[in-house]
């Protein structure tokens, strides 16, 4: 499923059969991991499911992208995860791979 994120970025919307957390990651990647309209679309997805680990994990990454590290750390704690010491891009890859594995089972 992770490959769909890359092969569909020229689409106007993420694939409907993609899980919601992966759709949020899709929007983030489409927006080049920057704050903007795509970030807002991803934020709407994750906010709608606060308290669910996968959504909270993506939410944490979003606030890292925003450079709001206090808020990012809050969401990492809620997700039961630690913030990576790598780049935002590497963290995106890590989360996308992990969430893609979950959706395969």
When pLDDT is cut at 50, 70 and 90, the band that residue 4 belongs to is low
What per-residue confidence (pLDDT) applies to 99? 92
CA 92 to chain centroid, in Å, comes to: 7
Q: Domain of residue 100: give its range.
A: 2-104
What is the pTM for the complete model shown? 0.89
Using the predicted structure, report yes or no on whether residue 52 has a pLDDT greater than 80.
Answer: yes
Per the prediction, the chain carries an average pLDDT of 89
Work out the angle at residue 37's Cα, subtended by the Cα atoms of residues 32 and 42, and round it to the nearest 5 degrees: 75
Count up the domains in the chain and report the number.
1
CA 100 to chain centroid, in Å, comes to: 12
Identify the residue with better confidence: 65 or 16: 65
Tokens encoding 19: 């899980």
């Amino acid at each position: 499923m992770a490959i769909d994120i890359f092969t569909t970025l020229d689409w106007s919307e993420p694939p409907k059969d993609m899980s919601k957390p992966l759709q949020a990651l899709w929007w983030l990647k489409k927006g080049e991991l920057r704050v903007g309209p795509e970030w807002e679309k991803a934020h709407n997805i994750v906010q709608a499911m606060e308290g669910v680990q996968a959504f909270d994990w993506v939410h944490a990454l979003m606030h890292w992208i925003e450079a709001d590290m206090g808020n990012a750390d809050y969401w990492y704690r809620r997700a039961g995860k630690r913030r990576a010491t790598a780049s935002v891009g590497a963290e995106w890859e890590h989360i996308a791979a992990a969430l893609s594995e979950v959706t395969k089972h």
